[in-house]
């Protein structure tokens, strides 16, 4: 499954409900899921972390759809390596943000 396929699948399942909630309300759910991911990672629970990664990806996909952004196209930003230095692995100065 490609990233685009995934985004379209999430649209089919959730777009009507999520778009009715709106971008701001849906973003709040995304933030909540990232908190759950952080807890699973902190606790070292790989099974829970896997589920939370999937949830975060689904919420990111639905946010992207509501905003009218194709995730597969957006991901191309990294197709040539680091967007700043162009290298893979990144060779940017690690002391700068």
Determine the average pLDDT of the residues in 61-89.
96
Determine the average pLDDT of the residues in 56-85.
97
Residue 62 domain boundaries: 3-78
**Residue 97, pLDDT score:** 59
Calculate the average pLDDT of the chain.
Answer: 96
Q: Is 74 part of any domain?
A: yes
Determine the average pLDDT of the residues in 72-77.
97
Q: Is 49 part of any domain?
A: yes
Q: Identify the burial level of 10 via C-beta atoms within 10 angstroms of its C-beta, where 0-12 means exposed, 13-18 middle and 19 or more buried.
A: buried
Q: Looking at residue 62, which CATH number applies to its domain?
A: 1.10.287.1080
Given a cut of 90, is residue 94 above it in pLDDT? Answer: no
Q: In the chain, how many domains are there?
A: 1
Retrieve residue 95's tokens. Answer: 């002391």
Q: Is 96 part of any domain?
A: no
Retrieve residue 28's tokens. Answer: 């709040």
């Amino acid at each position: 499954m490609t990233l685009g396929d995934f985004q379209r699948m999430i649209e089919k399942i959730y777009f009507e409900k999520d778009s009715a909630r709106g971008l701001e309300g849906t973003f709040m759910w995304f933030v909540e899921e990232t908190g759950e991911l952080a807890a699973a990672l902190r606790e070292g629970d790989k099974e829970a972390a896997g589920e939370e990664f999937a949830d975060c990806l689904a919420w990111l996909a639905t946010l992207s759809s509501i905003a009218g952004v194709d995730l597969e196209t957006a991901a191309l930003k990294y197709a040539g390596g680091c967007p700043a230095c162009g290298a893979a692995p990144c060779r940017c100065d690690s002391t700068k943000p």
